[in-house]
A and B are shown apart, each in its own frame.
Chain A
Amino acid sequence: MPRSELVRRENRAGWFFVLPWVVGFLVFTAGPMIASLVLSFTDYQMIRSPNPVGFDNYRALFDDPRVLKSLSNTFVYAAMFVPLGTVAALGLALMLQRVGRASGFFRTAFYLPEMTPAVAAGAMFLLLLNGQQGLVNKVLGWFGINGPNWTTDPNWLKPSLAIVSLWTLGGTVVIYLAALNGVPRQLYEAAELDGAGPITRLFRITVPMISGALFFTVITNTIAAMQMFDQAYTMFYGPQQKAAASEESLVYMVYLFQNAFQFFKMGFASAMAWLLFVIILAITFVQVRIGNRYVYYHGER
């Protein structure tokens, strides 16, 4: 059999194997993306057929003060959630790594919240975070701290959202745990012999050695934070709450959703989606540039 024939057959088999993914990608990802790109240049009210308007929707993005407001809300939320989430997840992973007995149980326990639908978590946290009767402020009260009105004070809405998001940190914890287990033991032993304390070891060995995992989760968590919808929607825009929703909790995706399905501005909503795409792309690009300088990959020399 000539070699090229073999290559072709292997190619065909390869394509055959990835076909389900390719079809899925085209139908469920690329298709809608292109559709939304097309729609972003139209005035589309869902009912009548779309009407091309050129760059009007993109111009309108800059005229609508709430686009900027929701974007800045989202940035503030992300700026709180991503660092807080990274530190908290790393702390949990370090603790989990040390748990000898019943480690399987604890790992499962910390991952479980990831299985809770965000909507359920949002509803639950509305109770926990209630300023007067909520558990969070009750516990703070034991230490003499007069907790804020997490769910109603406009200044505390975004921190509340960040706290709720911490609930679903299990995935990040598991990634860190795997990375921590990959750090060679002898590095610690050598450092200990040299007299390095636990803090030094953490910052000189652990963090650099798992920087690949840290970098990955910072990027994915940033993207997730920019696209956050469920928690904000359930907590502040659900049927019970929406009347009292404050502009301070209006995150970008919620505003996008409102435009699409409440105000019939599907074209404008599509333009919003593409603006967010560009922003996320830019943020990720910057992160990668910074990351390349500091991140250590095991495969590299």
Chain B
Amino acid sequence: MRNKGWALAGLAAGALVVTSCAGVGSKDDAGGKAGSAGSTPTGTLNVMGFSGEDEVAQSRIAAFKAAYPSVTVKNNKGDFDAQQFLTAVSSGNAPDVVYMARNLVGTYAAKGAILPLDDCIKNNDIDTGQYREAALNEVKLKDKTYGIPEFYTVTVNLINSTALASTGVQTADIQTTDWDKLEQTAKKLYKAKNGRPARIGYDPRMPDFFPLWALNNGVELIKPGGEPNLNDPKAVEALTYAIKLVNDQGGWSNFKTFRDTFDIFGEKNQFTQDQLAVMPIENWYLNVLLDSRRNGLKLQSTMFTDRQGKPISTLGGSAWVVPKGAKNPDAACKWAKTLTAVDTWQKAAEARMQTVAKDKTFFTGLFTGNKVADEQIKAKYLKPSGDPGFDQAISNYYASLDVAKPLNPSPAGAEIEAAWKNAVGKALGGKATPQAALDAAQTEAKAAFDKASQG
């Protein structure tokens, strides 16, 4: 009996040790320990969340290694994984620099999982003016900067002109200004066979693109300051319309089932197979489509606009952040600086051009999040490709750069996202009206936001 008691006491103590370990780490700014611009970092730099497979990533890693040969870079390849990251940080094995989507930065900053980089920026003379303002705003929380932004993902309509030609729809009809007209166009382009979709006319990309449709209707799902705004009448209206588009084209469950059969990354994708006429999609997809040209893809593109006809786009991208407990913040800071510097992007663009030449394709633009780099690269490398449809798409993406708007950062970003995605899913599946679903989501998200802003 006594032995049992001791065993239990031991376990309890063990549990306490386990839990209190989580508290390890300082409240220091990442730059506090970081050296100045001239200092030479040494030691190991553990990188997390960066797949770094393509030539753009490889050339930038090489640029860092060339600039700081005394640092050993250990890249734990693979995309950012919340569980992996949190367990690493809370067990005291934090990586030094982490690559994550910018929309996560607010949440992680609010929880104290990542460190402000203001001193890092100051001590290393990082010119934040070179980054696009919208990207920089995404990584700020309460006037502190928590990340160094890179990449800039914007959205335009991509069109399979084969479908247009077969239905007599004009490229100019592919617009999001006039909802009724878009609905008519979608119906015209939609094709069914045996009661199931055979070609989707216009895919509004629900649920992921709900923020874009909200923006189309003139409303942001997260207010500046981070408060959720999910059941704004205009957001409800946008969701109702997007669902109507889906219901016009087979209804959600048929629509989604059909969409699941698309081989999005294959050479025989939904465009070449004429399974889809139009969808709004991000710029990276152009590179995927390059290979589809030999399977008969005839691409066209229009801008995505709001209902007043003004071009709009949502904005995505990544950021370099330094987690709490990072052991080499100096090297981490210089890593973030080097990888996002104009010179480095130049090298990345050179590497991209080599790949392009080798594959006998063409350059589709590089959207770095760094304004200066973007302009230089565009001026130097962007040439007419000989495919007017692609040229139009590329120019549309470039035009979207200046209008793109991210969701505002919020300390409850993760919960807000989960809430609206869940609501949109419920409304699409017919389990709740858009109003009821978004009302519930707003209540939930607001509670999370209130809690997150207190502590």
B-binding residues in A (CB < 8 A): 26, 30-31, 34-35, 37-39, 42, 44-50, 126, 130-133, 149, 151-154, 239, 242-248, 257-258, 260-264
Contact = CB atoms under 8 A, between A and B. Distances in A.
B165 interface: no
A152 B252 contact: yes
A244 B427 CA distance: 11
B208 interface: yes
Interface in B46-88: 79, 82-83, 86-87
Q: How large is the interface on B (under 10, 10 to 19, 20 to 34, 35 or more residues)?
A: 35 or more
A152 B207 CA distance: 13
Contact of A248 (B12, B196, B208, B431): B431
B18 to A, nearest CB: 5
Contact of B86 (A152, A244, A247, A261): A261
The majority secondary structure among interface residues of chain B is helix
B414 A262 contact: yes
Which are the 5 A-B pairs with shortest beta-carbon distances?
A: A49-B23, A131-B257, A35-B15, A152-B256, A153-B253
A48 B431 contact: no
Interface in B17-59: 18-20, 22-23, 25
A47 B260 contact: no
B15 A47 contact: no
A152 B11 contact: no
Interface centre among A47, A133, A153, A260 (most CB of B within 10 A): A47
Nearest to A148: B253
A31 B254 contact: no
B429 A264 contact: no
Contacts of A244: 207, 256, 425
Contacts of B87: 46
B209 to A, nearest CB: 9
Nearest to B255: A152
A31 B431 contact: no
Nearest to B10: A26
B111 A264 contact: yes
Contacts of A48: 22-23, 111-112
A246 B324 CA distance: 35
A263 B448 CA distance: 9
Contacts of B430: 154
B91 to A, nearest CB: 10
B182 interface: no
Given A34-B15, A245-B421, A263-B414, A46 B86 contact: yes
Nearest to B87: A46
Given A48-B112, A152-B256, A243-B421, A262 B19 contact: no
Interface in B237-287: 252-254, 256-258, 260-261
A47 B257 contact: no
B113 A50 contact: no
B257 A149 contact: yes
